[in-house]
Amino acid sequence: MKSVPVEVTAAPAVEPERVNLLGLDRRALEGFFAELGEKPFRVSQVLKWIHARRVTRFEDMTDLSKALRTKLAAMAEVRVPEAVADQRSADGTRKWLLRLDGANAVETVLIPEKTRDTLCVSSQVGCALECSFCSTGVQGFNRNLSTAEIVGQLWFVNRELAREQPERQVTNVVFMGMGEPLLNFRNVVPAAELMKDDHAYGLSKRRVTLSTSGVVPNLYKLAEVTDISLAVSLHAPNDGLRDELVPINQRHPLRELMAACRHYIADKPHRRITWEYVMLDGVNDSDAHAHELVRLLGDIPSKVNLIPFNPFPGTQYQCSPADRIQAFSHILSRAGLTSTTRKTRGDDIDGACGQLVGKVADRTRRQEKRTAVDGDA
Ligand code: SAH
Ligand code: SF4
Residues 71, 101, single domain; the answer is no
Residues 57, 134, single domain; the answer is no
Report residues whose beta carbon is within 6 angstroms of any ligand 1 atom. Answer: 131, 133-134, 176, 180, 211-213, 233, 276, 278, 307, 309-310, 353-354
Note the pLDDT of residue 359: 64
Note the pLDDT of residue 139: 81
Strand 338-341 relative to strand 19-20, pairing: unpaired
Please say whether the beta carbons of 338 and 303 come within 8 A: yes
Please say whether the beta carbons of 344 and 352 come within 8 A: yes
Using the 3D structure, point to which of 42, 59, 77 is the last residue of a domain: 77
CA of 130 to the centre of ligand 2 (A): 7
CA of 116 to the centre of ligand 2 (A): 25
Which among 345, 349, 334, 235 has a CA at the least distance from the CA of 285? Answer: 235
Residues 86, 33, single domain; the answer is no
Residue 196, C-beta contacts closer than 8 angstroms, at least 6 positions apart: 202, 203, 204, 205, 208, 228
Structural domain of residue 278, as residue ranges? 82-372
Q: Do the domain assignments include residue 248?
A: yes
Residues 167, 304, single domain; the answer is yes
Using the atom order of ligand 1, give the atom closest to the CA of residue 129: 1
Residues 281, 138, single domain; the answer is yes
* From 120, 122, 136, mutation site for ligand 2 pocket: most ligand atoms within 8 A of C-beta: 136
Residues 72, 102, single domain; the answer is no
CA of 354 to the centre of ligand 1 (A): 5
Report the CATH number at residue 195.
Answer: 3.20.20.70
Q: Do the domain assignments include residue 161?
A: yes
Residues 62, 176, single domain; the answer is no
Residues 23, 129, single domain; the answer is no
CA of 293 to the centre of ligand 2 (A): 21
Using the 3D structure, point to which of 30, 53, 77 is the last residue of a domain: 77
Residues 47, 190, single domain; the answer is no
* From 213, 353, 356, mutation site for ligand 1 pocket: most ligand atoms within 8 A of C-beta: 353
Note the pLDDT of residue 355: 60
Note the pLDDT of residue 349: 63
Report the CATH number at residue 63.
Answer: 1.10.150.530
Note the pLDDT of residue 138: 81
Q: Do the domain assignments include residue 4?
A: no
Q: Do the domain assignments include residue 198?
A: yes
Mean pLDDT by 10 residues, the chain (377 residues): 37 71 98 95 97 98 96 96 92 92 87 95 93 88 94 97 93 96 98 98 97 98 96 98 98 98 89 96 98 97 96 94 98 96 72 61 60 35
Residues 63, 117, single domain; the answer is no
| Pocket flag, ligand 2, residue 325 (CB < 6 Å) | no
Note the pLDDT of residue 4: 34
Q: How many domains does the chain have?
A: 2
Using the atom order of ligand 1, give the atom closest to the CA of residue 317: 22
Residues 254, 345, single domain; the answer is yes
Please say whether the beta carbons of 135 and 354 come within 8 A: yes
Note the pLDDT of residue 14: 61
Beta strands in 153-204 (DSSP E): 172-175
Note the pLDDT of residue 368: 55
Using the 3D structure, point to which of 50, 77, 104 is the last residue of a domain: 77
* From 176, 210, 281, mutation site for ligand 1 pocket: most ligand atoms within 8 A of C-beta: 176
Residues 240, 200, single domain; the answer is yes
